[in-house]
């Protein structure tokens, strides 16, 4: 997955074009820019690639989720359904706008279980936020049907799965809003950065204003612009956008390498009797950022993860014990450990997660091992890796 592996002259050229103008900000300074508008240009390229009307770039994937929620008018006391298996950014963005994260089980897709989502809906639910973890996706068709039935917003977190598709639509473009991250470990990177995509004109205008202190961006000088509603600063800089522009033009190249390396490993493992691959919902095609599989039980999975490490197969994860990606280690959320006081709604509405039953998630995540697919491996390195993996997994 990491875009940081493949880096070079194209990125350097884009950044130098910005440095040559001295305008590091995406807005204003028209006279000095020498025609360079990197953020605007990247938004255009992303909209085309993702087959949507609008893209709003922001400073991170977490900012993208926050701005996406705010742009749709989500706020204090609104409930947002999110999975137990995701990055902490999911609940951070929900809490940031005063809304309430409602954790819900994942199934064998390792993304939101549609059944569990339906059971978690209350009169305060406003959003369903599936997270397409590790290069694959949630069952978007089932989730969309639920959202349509209950008049809820579908917000896709596609931060780890850029390039994957569902029913031939790019991940992120199927729901009402989609979010990407371009941090340093994602498939393509800006260093730091994120994007919101949508076909909704109002959400785009709101995201544009909200991410820049409420600026209405009517094209006067910045000081003369007005502020129709409160906003914050979630802007991306021209330098970051310049890096992203070089990277996005290489996305297809990265995806091709990713798929090739994934396929070698998957084919090597597919006849092992104790290995079962994670389910990709019908209509979905992965981005192939990770190869993810189940072992017969949690003890075997944990052992497999340890043995893979010892055999030199790096970058494999046992998510069940992970501090950042699974609810079991989110004590700061469970105990509401905030620096200042949290909004009243969160105290009143946040379930006591120490008493929640997420055994359905534990069943799947406990058995899961997930290995990052790198782009920089040589053909020989991939083959050796496949042999080592078969060696470990066939002897458990």
At 300, list the tokens.
Answer: 């075997």
Residue 62 is a binding residue for ligand PLP (CB under 6 A): yes
Q: Name the segment binding ligand PLP (CB under 6 A); options: 60-68, 223-231, 262-270, 382-390.
A: 60-68
- The residue from 47, 55, 84, 86 that contacts ligand PLP (CB under 6 A) is 86
Which window, 25-33, 84-92, 310-318, 387-395, contacts ligand PLP (CB under 6 A)? 84-92
**From the CB of 131, what's the least distance to ligand PLP, in Å?**
5
Chain positions 92 to 151 lying near ligand PLP, rule: CB under 6 A, are: 131
Q: Which residue is nearest to ligand PLP (CB)?
A: 61
Total Cβ atoms within 10 A of residue 142: 18
Vertex 213 angle, CA 207 and 219, to 5°: 80
> Contacts with ligand PLP: how many residues (CB under 6 A)?
13
Q: Counting contacts by CB under 6 A, is residue 159 touching ligand PLP?
A: yes
Question: 138 and 109 in contact (C-beta within 8 Å)?
Answer: yes
Tell which positions 265-304 bind ligand PLP, by CB under 6 A: none
Q: Please report whether residue 42 would count as binding ligand PLP according to CB under 6 A.
A: no
Q: Contact, 26 vs 245, CB < 8 A?
A: no
User: Residue 203: enclosing H or E segment and its boundaries?
Assistant: helix 201-210
| Neighbouring C-alpha atoms within 13 Å toward the C-beta of 225 | 17
Distances, alpha carbon 363 to alpha carbons 382, 393, 396, in Å: 30, 20, 19
Task: Output the furthest CA–CA distance in the chain (Å, rounded).
Answer: 70
Which span sits near ligand PLP by CB under 6 A: 102-110, 153-161, 224-232, 326-334?
A: 153-161
Does an H or E element contain 194, and which? strand 194-198
Residue with Cβ nearer ligand PLP (204 or 325)? 325
Judged by CB, which is closer to ligand PLP: 105, or 183? 183
Residues 6+ away with beta carbon under 8 Å from 296 = 274, 367
User: What residue ranges bind ligand PLP (CB under 6 A)?
Assistant: 60-62, 86-87, 89, 131, 157, 159-160, 181, 183, 194
């Amino acid at each position: 997955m990491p875009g940081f592996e493949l880096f070079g002259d194209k990125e350097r050229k884009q950044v130098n074009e910005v440095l040559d103008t001295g305008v590091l900000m995406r807005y204003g300074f028209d006279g000095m820019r020498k025609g360079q508008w990197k953020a605007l240009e990247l938004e255009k390229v992303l909209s085309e690639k993702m087959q949507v009307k609008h893209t709003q770039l922001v400073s991170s994937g977490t900012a993208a989720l926050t701005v996406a929620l705010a742009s749709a008018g989500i706020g204090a006391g609104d409930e947002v359904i999110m999975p137990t298996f995701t990055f902490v950014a999911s609940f951070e963005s929900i809490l940031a706008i005063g809304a309430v994260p409602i954790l819900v089980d994942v199934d064998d897709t390792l993304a939101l279980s549609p059944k569990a989502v339906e059971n978690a809906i209350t009169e305060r639910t406003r959003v369903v936020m599936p997270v397409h973890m590790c290069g694959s996706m949630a069952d978007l068709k089932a989730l969309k049907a639920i959202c349509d039935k209950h008049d809820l917003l579908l917000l896709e977190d596609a931060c780890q799965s850029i390039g994957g598709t569902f029913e031939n639509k790019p991940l992120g473009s199927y729901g009402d809003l989609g979010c990407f991250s371009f941090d340093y470990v994602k498939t393509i990177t800006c260093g730091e950065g994120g994007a919101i995509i949508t076909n909704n004109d109002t959400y785009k205008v709101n995201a544009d204003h909200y991410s820049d202190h409420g600026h209405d961006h009517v094209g006067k000088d910045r000081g003369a612009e007005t502020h129709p509603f409160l906003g914050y600063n979630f802007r991306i800089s021209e330098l970051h956008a310049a890096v992203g522009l070089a990277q996005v033009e290489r996305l297809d190249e990265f995806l091709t390498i990713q798929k090739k390396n994934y396929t070698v490993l998957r084919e090597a493992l597919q006849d092992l009797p104790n290995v079962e691959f994670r389910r990709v919902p019908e209509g979905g095609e992965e981005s192939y950022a990770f190869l993810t599989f189940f072992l017969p039980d949690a003890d075997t999975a944990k052992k497999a993860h340890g043995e893979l490490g010892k055999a030199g197969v790096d970058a494999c994860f046992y998510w069940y014990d992970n501090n950042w990606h699974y609810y079991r280690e989110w004590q700061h959320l469970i105990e509401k450990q905030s620096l200042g006081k949290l909004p009243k709604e969160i105290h009143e509405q946040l379930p006591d997660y120490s008493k929640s039953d997420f055994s359905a998630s534990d069943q799947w995540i406990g058995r899961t091992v997930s290995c990052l697919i790198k782009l920089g491996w040589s053909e020989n390195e991939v083959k050796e890796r496949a042999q080592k993996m078969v060696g470990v997994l066939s002897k458990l």
